[in-house]
């Protein structure tokens, strides 16, 4: 995302040959080109175009597409197809992902590979359809029940989302795990120039896939084990797998970190807002860099911890009330102040807002540089409060306008 443009005539010709694609459609096509055999979905804004693209293209290609009766139906169809070794994908947006949580747990427990795309919208509940990153906890800490994790990839551009689709299938099959790709509604709805260069992960033969027990004993894909000793061993195996994933598959990107006094930690769309804010800050002589996690789980904790030893302060920017910031603070372990700026409800922090938060952080850091620094070490959060919220709640106005109680 933050990579500079290549110079040269060939690079220029390639740039001009790029195609304008909508995020949802580009993600769908990238999945198809990555060899997705079967897609199961259910309509929900803001990812409906992904389903629609699949509806046309998968059937054109003679592959499997089903619009299921619910997100429950969709992900369980995916479970069945994946159990036979097929390359399988589902997609939805936040409320639908909540419904899929059950099967995610089963698939993590039984080691069934699958790719799940969440084009996140604002919650809680039905919430709204605006862009959001308020499913960070859901994606990285939970969805379903039990001690499990799934790799979570968070692109910041449509081109990166396409590349990470192929990566998602690779990780899913390499580690026999569901993999999530999360993007907020902006990345789903926006259009950007993309290269139509796709990657198709190599096909593996699976010694676990259900193909019919011809000439061998029956295979079972399951998560149940009522013997606590056996179940603990299975869990230990899972944890071993997660450590291996954390060791080998952690991804992040740094930008302008070489001389940074302050660092913004942000992913997805928030990282792009941060980039613009950083450009403005540097014009004003504030040296700021960007640390962008690409895998939200495994979170790049070690890298961030190392960074926190060399910078004055960290600002986390999210489209949420502050979710990833908890992982940032765990990684930083109080070595420097960690501030937060976020918007909710489908709103996106603007570069100006982020600039404001940066200036506030710089003020704190400068004070900390004074002898009484320890007094200032406690982390603080700051939500953007629109000015009208300091007056009466909007619903009171509403009631007054309507003329009393009704």
Partner 1 sequence: MTLHTPGPESPAPGASAARLIYARPEVLRDRSTHYCPGCGHGVVHRLLAEVLTELDLPAHTIAVAPVGCAVFAYDYLDIDFVEAPHGRAPAVATGIRRVRPEAFVLTYQGDGDLAAIGTAEIVHAAARGERITAIFVNNGIYGMTGGQMAPTTLLGQKTTSSPFGRDAALMGYPIRITEMLAQLPGVTYAARGTIADVGSIGKLKAMIKRACQVQMEGGGFAIVEALSNCPVGWGMTPQQSIEHLKGPVVEAYPLGVIVDRGAVAQPTHDLGCPSPAHPEA
Partner 2 sequence: MDHSVVFAGFGGQGLLFTGQVLARAAIKDGLEVFWIPSYGPEMRGGTASCTVIVGDTPIGSPVVDRFDAAVAMNLPSLRKFAPRVAPAGLLLMNTSLLGDEETGRSDLVEMHLQCTDLAALCGDDKLVSVVALGALVARTGWVTPDSVRAALREMAGKKRPEVVDADLGAFDAGFEAGAATP
The partner in contact with residue 276, picked from partner 1, partner 2, none with C-beta cut-offs of 5 to 8 angstroms by kind, is partner 2
Q: Which is nearer to partner 2, 293 or 349 (CB)?
A: 349
Residues in contact with partner 1 by the rule CB under 8 A: 37-38, 40, 64, 66, 68-70, 72-74, 76-84, 86, 88, 102-103, 106, 110, 210-215, 217-224
Q: Which is nearer to partner 1, 146 or 363 (CB)?
A: 146
> The tokens of 393 are what?
């709640």
**253-290: string of b/e by CB count within 10 Å (b at 16+)?**
bbbbbeebbbbbbbbbbbbbbbbebbeebeeeebbbbb
Alpha helices per DSSP H over 266-314:
268-283, 301-308
> The tokens of 111 are what?
């080691």
The partner in contact with residue 190, picked from partner 1, partner 2, none with C-beta cut-offs of 5 to 8 angstroms by kind, is partner 2
The partner in contact with residue 210, picked from partner 2, partner 1, none with C-beta cut-offs of 5 to 8 angstroms by kind, is partner 1
Q: Which is nearer to partner 2, 18 or 203 (CB)?
A: 18
Strands 338-342 and 38-41: unpaired
Residues in contact with partner 2 by the rule CB under 8 A: 1-5, 12, 15-16, 18-20, 45-46, 128-130, 157, 185-186, 189-193, 269, 272-273, 275-277, 279, 346, 348-352
The partner in contact with residue 106, picked from partner 1, partner 2, none with C-beta cut-offs of 5 to 8 angstroms by kind, is partner 1
Q: Which residues lie below 8 Å from residue 199, measured CB to CB, with a gap of 6+?
A: 33, 34, 163, 166
Question: How does DSSP assign 98-136, residue by residue?
Answer: HHHHHHHHHHHHHT--EEEEEEEB--STT--SSB--TTH
| Closest approach of partner 1 to the CB of residue 176, in Å | 14
| DSSP 8-state symbol, 199 | -
Q: Is residue 258 a contact partner of residue 311, using CB atoms and an 8 Å limit?
A: no
Q: Is residue 108 a contact partner of residue 144, using CB atoms and an 8 Å limit?
A: yes
Q: Which is nearer to partner 1, 215 or 386 (CB)?
A: 215
The partner in contact with residue 33, picked from partner 1, partner 2, none with C-beta cut-offs of 5 to 8 angstroms by kind, is none
The partner in contact with residue 41, picked from partner 1, partner 2, none with C-beta cut-offs of 5 to 8 angstroms by kind, is none
Query: What separation, in Å, do the N-terminal and C-terminal C-alpha atoms of the chain show?
Result: 52
| Closest approach of partner 2 to the CB of residue 275, in Å | 4
Residues 342 and 73: their CA atoms lie apart, in Å, by 34
Q: Which is nearer to partner 1, 78 or 266 (CB)?
A: 78
| Closest approach of partner 1 to the CB of residue 175, in Å | 19
Q: Which is nearer to partner 1, 86 or 355 (CB)?
A: 86
Q: Is residue 273 a contact partner of residue 349, using CB atoms and an 8 Å limit?
A: yes
The partner in contact with residue 369, picked from partner 2, partner 1, none with C-beta cut-offs of 5 to 8 angstroms by kind, is none
Other C-beta atoms lying within 10 Å of the C-beta of residue 350: 14
| Closest approach of partner 1 to the CB of residue 117, in Å | 17
The partner in contact with residue 153, picked from partner 1, partner 2, none with C-beta cut-offs of 5 to 8 angstroms by kind, is none
| Closest approach of partner 2 to the CB of residue 58, in Å | 22
Q: Which is nearer to partner 2, 15 or 145 (CB)?
A: 15
| Closest approach of partner 2 to the CB of residue 49, in Å | 10
| Closest approach of partner 1 to the CB of residue 217, in Å | 6
Q: Which residue has the tokens 């990470």?
A: 164
Q: Which is nearer to partner 1, 144 or 313 (CB)?
A: 144
Q: Which is nearer to partner 1, 38 or 344 (CB)?
A: 38
The partner in contact with residue 345, picked from partner 2, partner 1, none with C-beta cut-offs of 5 to 8 angstroms by kind, is none
Strands 191-194 and 19-22: antiparallel
Cα dist from 162 to 27, 90, 255, 338, whole Å: 5, 15, 21, 32
């Amino acid at each position: 995302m933050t990579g500079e443009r290549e110079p040269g005539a060939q690079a220029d010709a390639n740039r001009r040959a790029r195609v304008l694609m909508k995020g949802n459609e580009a993600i769908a096509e990238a999945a198809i080109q990555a060899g997705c055999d079967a897609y199961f979905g259910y309509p929900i804004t803001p990812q409906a175009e992904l389903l629609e693209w699949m509806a046309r293209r998968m059937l054109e290609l003679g592959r499997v597409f089903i619009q299921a009766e619910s997100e429950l139906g969709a992900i369980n169809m995916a479970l069945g197809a994946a159990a036979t070794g097929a390359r399988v994908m589902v997609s939805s947006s936040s409320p639908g992902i909540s419904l899929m949580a059950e099967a995610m747990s089963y698939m993590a427990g039984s080691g069934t590979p699958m790719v799940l795309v969440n084009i996140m919208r604002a919650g809680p509940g039905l919430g709204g359809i605006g862009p959001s990153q308020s499913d960070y906890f859901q994606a990285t800490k939970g969805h379903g029940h039990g001690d499990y994790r799934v790799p979570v990839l968070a692109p910041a551009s449509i081109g990166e989302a396409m590349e990470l689709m192929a990566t998602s299938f690779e990780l899913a099959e390499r580690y026999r795990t569901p993999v999530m790709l999360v993007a907020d509604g902006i990345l789903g709805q926006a259009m950007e120039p993309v290269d139509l260069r796709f990657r198709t992960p190599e096909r593996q033969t699976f010694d676990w896939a259900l193909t019919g027990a011809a000439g061998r004993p029956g295979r079972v894909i399951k998560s149940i084990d009522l013997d606590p000793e056996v179940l603990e061993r299975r869990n230990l195996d899972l944890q071993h797998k997660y450590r291996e994933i954390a060791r080998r598959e952690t991804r992040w990107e740094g930008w302008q970190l070489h001389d940074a006094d302050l660092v913004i930690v942000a992913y997805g769309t928030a990282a792009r807002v941060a980039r613009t804010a950083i450009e403005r800050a540097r014009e004003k002589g504030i040296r700021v860099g960007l640390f962008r996690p690409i895998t939200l789980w495994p979170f790049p904790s070690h890298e961030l911890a190392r960074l926190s030893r060399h910078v004055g302060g960290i600002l986390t920017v999210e489209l949420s009330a502050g979710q990833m910031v908890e992982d940032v603070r765990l990684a930083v372990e109080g070595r420097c102040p960690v501030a937060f700026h976020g918007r909710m409800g489908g709103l996106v922090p603007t570069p100006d807002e982020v600039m404001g938060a940066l200036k506030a952080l710089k003020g704190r850091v400068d004070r900390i540089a004074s002898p009484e620094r320890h007094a200032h070490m406690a982390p603080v959060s700051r939500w953007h409060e629109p000015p009208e919220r300091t007056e009466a709640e909007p619903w009171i106005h509403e009631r007054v306008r309507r003329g009393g109680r009704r």
